Structure 1
Amino acid sequence: MRLCELRQKEIINTCTCKSLGCPVDFEFDCKTGKIQSMIVPIPGKFCCFWGKENEYIIPWNCIVQIGDDIILVELKEEHCCRKGHSF
């Protein structure tokens, strides 16, 4: 599967049954080349147009399943929320 295909999938948190949106970017380990996390803007934000807004950083190990149209994740949203440049 290509990264561009992952970007078209909606992410659903299985803990809350809530849609988190679609991934816009990925963080990966330069040494191993493995994806470490998906970056998803918090719904209603336009991080690409208005600078860095609030976003979810979803660790790759939180992924439960990748389906044809959705990515199921299991996580506590408050632990993966990053606000602007405060990290």
Structure 2
Amino acid sequence: MRLSELSGKEIVDVKRAERLGVLGQTDLEINEKGQITALIIPNVKWFGFKKNGTEIRVPWNHIKKIGTDMIIIDIPGAGPETE
């Protein structure tokens, strides 16, 4: 799969049922062989304002499905957030 085919897809956490971002607004962690090892997703609120300057690192093996419009991720141990 090419990077251009991934660009623009929404990243959704299956456990939290939460939209984390859009690929293209994220960074990629790439190893020496040129393979993507993780997605680095900035933690932003609506309208692009930063929220505590943190980011979410999603290892490639936690991606469960890449569909036509979205990427579904499942991070073990990351249950629903409590407020």
- The answer to whether TM tops 0.5 is yes
Percentage of matched positions with identical amino acids: 37
Q: CA 1:40–1:7 in 2, change beyond 3 Å: closer, same or farther?
A: farther
Q: Give matches, 1:3-42, under 5 Å.
A: 3-23=3-23, 24-30=26-32, 32-42=33-43
SS at match of 2:44: coil
* Deviation readout 1:28-70 (Å, 9 max, x if unpaired): 111x2211001111132557xxxxx311111000000000110
Note the residue ranges of structure 1 that are not aligned, 5 or more in a row: 48-52, 78-87
SS at match of 1:8: coil
Task: Report the Cα offset of residue 5 of structure 1.
Answer: 3.4
**Stretches of 4+ moved more than 6 A in 1?**
none
Task: Report the Cα offset of residue 4 of structure 1.
Answer: 3.5
Q: TM-score, normalised by structure 1?
A: 0.69
- CA RMSD in angstroms comes to 1.9
Q: Give matches, 1:53-72, under 5 Å.
A: 53-72=53-72
SS at match of 1:4: helix
SS at match of 1:54: strand
Between structures 1 and 2, the one with greater helix share: 1
| Residue 43 (structure 1) aligns with | 44
Q: TM-score, normalised by structure 2?
A: 0.72
What letter corresponds to residue 31 of structure 2 in structure 1?
D
